Structures are given as structure tokens and as C-alpha cells.
Amino acid sequence: GLGDVYKRQEFGCFDFIGKLESIEETNAFDNEAHSGYMLKIKLINNEEIADFFTIDMFVNKKNMRFTDDLEVGMKLTGMFQLLGEIAD
């Protein structure tokens, strides 16, 4: 329910629908245990503005349901977590 959405946001977790703009296979921390993909995803909020909200996200292969069928242009859904702090 809606309460679950607010609980996830406390931890910086957000559901998304987006369009895959680019994909690159990579290892995080130069460690094969963290192999995955760097995805550039345009969140679908405003189709008319080219970079309305486009983010890069690393996705570990272990957390993906599929990897062989990823194609630029496809629509994706999922959840991502924002980490960091607000800059002054």
C-alpha cells in the first residue's frame, strides 16, 4: 500500500519506469564479484524534454532477472536507491 512507498523512500528507494538510453558491461570496484551493467536510463516523466531526468545507474547482474535481452530503447521498470548527501 501507500505506507510501503513512504517506508521505501525513507531509505532513498524509488520505483521507476524508464527508457534504456545506453548500456555498458562493467565491474564495480574493479572486482568481478560485482559484475554488472552501467545503464543510462531516462525516467519517463516528460517525453518532450530530452534530458528531463536521465540518470546513470549500476545494476549488479545478481540482481537482474534477465541480461541477454537488454536493448537500447526498451522500457524498464524497477527500483533504485539514491545514496549521498545534499550539496551546499
Over residues 46-67, the pLDDT tens digits come to 667 666 788 888 888 877 776 6
Does pTM surpass 0.75?
no
Q: Which residues, at least 6 apart from 19, have a Cβ–Cβ distance to it below 8 Å?
A: 41, 42, 44, 73, 74, 75, 76
Residues 16-38 have a mean pLDDT of 84
What pLDDT shows up at residue 40? 93
What pLDDT shows up at residue 44? 76
What pLDDT shows up at residue 67? 63
What pLDDT shows up at residue 7? 58
Contact 77/15 with Cβ under 8 angstroms? yes
